[in-house]
Structure 1
Amino acid sequence: MKLYQLLSVSLLVLTLASCNFTENINVQPDGTGTFALEMDGSGFMAMAGDQALKGLDPAKNKKSIDSTFLFKQIFEEKKDSIAKLAPEQQAALKKLENFVMNIKMNPEAKQFLFSMNTPFKSINELDGVMESMGSLKDLKGKSDKKDNPAAMLSGLGNNNSKLSFSYNGKNFIRKAIVSKEALNKINADSTGMAKMIFASSKYTLKYHFPKAVKSVSNPDAMFSADRKTITVEYPFTDYSENPEKLNLNVVFE
């Protein structure tokens, strides 16, 4: 199945169904680690059934799909367009070049999983990554989704906030900063159909650390048995309308 066809289905799931999103970070003892943004759209597959694959190859749409794409591959194909972008746009795309995208679809099991993940040498490398996804629409200078399927993902991490991370072995901090102007815009835009679509969606933070956690600023955080993994679940509307609610301060033992 072609990249555009897979992304078309992914976009359909993102826009027509309630999905569960997980921001997954795994920090190693030396400060390196992995970051992943994961989406579970299995509820949509269960609801829509074969209609979810309408328009795809009918001879293949009953089969399971497990496809992986490298952002470097997409950027290489669009290198001429990227070279024409402003320096700040090119720098934003540079932050995404190590991302790997995976799509898993199993019609019989009613499974639809989507993820984007990347390694990092220091967690500070993740600063601005979510906002950088908005630059995907600029690969051809406009959001032309037929010629630029990556543009479909341009709004996935954009909630009008600036997100940063820090880790020093004693503390871990996730901080989103929203300007008053952006917040007013969010509230103005977060009505009607878009709000109804994501009303039952969840956005979960799941972080694994090399040390046991002593305390977390969010009292609803759940701990693994060894206290090295914390999970905090939020309504997706908090992520999109009140990003600062997801700010987190973790203290280690």
Structure 2
Amino acid sequence: MKLYKLLSFSFLLATLTSCTFTENIHVNDNGTGKFSVDIDGSALMAMAGDQIGQQMGAEAKKSIDTTFTFKKLFEEKKDSIAKLSPETQKELKKLENYVVNTKMNAEQKEFLMKISNDFKNVNELQDVLQALSAFQKLESAANATAPFGGGFGNNNSKLSFSYDGKKFSRKAVVNKKDAEKKQESEADMSKMIFASSNYILQYHFPKRIKKASNPNAVFSDDRKTITIQYPFTDYMENPDKLNFDVEFEK
């Protein structure tokens, strides 16, 4: 299966129902680390694995376990990318070094996708699902039935992170002007499709956490990992609800 076809099909699965999105950040002592978004759609495969297998044809009879970079995928679609706006091409450029691992097995009812990247500084992190909305524009240019018309992951906000060894913060600032343009029908579709999906923040730090601003935060036994769970509709419709600050022990 070609990389573009596989990734497009994976995103289609992710927009159907019953998926868990986990935003993982592992921060090292020197501020470097690893960022990933893990998508688990196994619940969907358990409900509709046979139908999905039929849609994928003969390729579904074998399990899929593949790893590739967006850079390699974009090489396949360079002609189509050249036709996109400069702004969209710039957004796609941000994805080049992200690694995608997809595991899919209709027989075992498994669908897992990890989109990851190493970072040199927490402050350089961005919202990968927002960036993926640019990929959806590439898909919708070739397919009028692309999920959300190319808007999957676009929650009309700008996400930033900061970390100085003493404090950590995650902050999404909503672009109210763009949010107001969002049609009610699209919002209703989002609620219907993602009603049973969750978005989990799971951050791992090199220091013990003294306190966190979110009252729903759950700490690991060593207080170096924080986990906060939201309905996926909060990520899409109220991204600033996911904002929080962490203060570390001295």
Query: TM-score, length-normalised on structure 1?
Result: 0.86
Pick from 159, 163, 167: which aligns with 2:159?
Answer: 163
| Residue aligned with 1:16, SS | coil
1:66-90 deviations in Å (ceiling 9; x for gaps): 1112111122333455556555444
AA aligned to 2:54 is: K
Corresponding letter in the other structure for 1:41: G
Query: Is 1:132 aligned to residue 131 of structure 2?
Result: yes
Give the structure 2 partner of residue 55 of structure 1: 55
SS in structure 2 of the partner of residue 69 of structure 1: strand
Give the Å deviation of 1:95: 1.6
| Cα distance in 2 between the residues matched to 1:80 and 1:231 | 42
Q: Which AA in structure 1 matches 2:48? A: A
Q: C-alpha distance in 2, partners of 1:53/1:158?
A: 29
Segment drifting more, 60-69 vs 219-228: 60-69
Aligned residues: 248
Partner residue of 1:180?
Answer: 176
Task: Structure 2: give runs of 5+ residues left out of the alignment.
Answer: none
CA contact (8 A) 2:190 2:233 kept: no
Query: Which range moves more in the overlay, 24-33 or 185-194?
Result: 185-194
* Separation (CA, whole Å) in 1 of partners of 2:99 and 2:20: 19
In 2 relative to 1, CA 9–94 (structure 1 residues): closer, same or farther, beyond 3 Å?
closer
Question: TM-score, normalization: structure 2?
Answer: 0.87
Q: Please tell me the residue identity of whatever aligns with 1:7.
A: L
Paired with 1:20 and 1:94, the residues of 2 have a C-alpha distance of 26
Q: 1:208 to 1:121 in 2, by over 3 A?
A: same
CA distance in structure 2 between the aligned counterparts of 1:152 and 1:28, rounded to whole angstroms: 37
> Which residue is equivalent to 2:7?
7
Aligned position for 2:105: 106
Confirm or deny: 8 A CA contact 2:137 2:150 kept in the other structure.
Answer: no
Structure 1 residues 139 and 111: alpha-carbon distance in aligned structure 2, compared to 1, 3 A threshold: closer
What is the percent sequence identity of the aligned residues?
A: 57
Contact 2:153 2:236 in 1 (8 A): no
Decide which moves more: 198-207 or 122-131. 122-131
> How much has 1:248 moved relative to structure 2?
1.2
Q: CA deviation at 1:153?
A: 11
CA distance in 2, matches of 1:186, 1:214: 39
Over 3 Å counting, the alpha-carbon distance change for 1:35 and 1:57 in structure 2 is same
Tell me the residue number matched to 2:94.
95
Aligned-pair Cα RMSD in Å: 2.7
The question of whether the paired residues in 1 share the 8 Å contact of 2:137 and 2:151 is answered with no
Task: Give ranges in structure 1 of 5+ residues lacking alignment.
Answer: none
Query: Residue 54 of structure 1: CA displacement?
Result: 1.6
Note if 1:202 corresponds to 2:201. no
Q: 1:23-102 alignment to 2 at 5 Å?
A: 23-58=23-58, 60-82=59-81, 87-102=86-101
Is the 8 Å Cα contact of residues 25 and 33 (structure 2) preserved in structure 1?
yes
Deviates more, 1:170-179 or 1:182-191: 182-191
| C-alpha contact 1:145 1:152 (8 A) present in aligned 2 | no
Give the counterpart letter for 2:77 in structure 1. K
CA contact (8 A) 1:124 1:166 kept: yes
Separation of aligned partners in 1, 2:128 and 2:111? 24
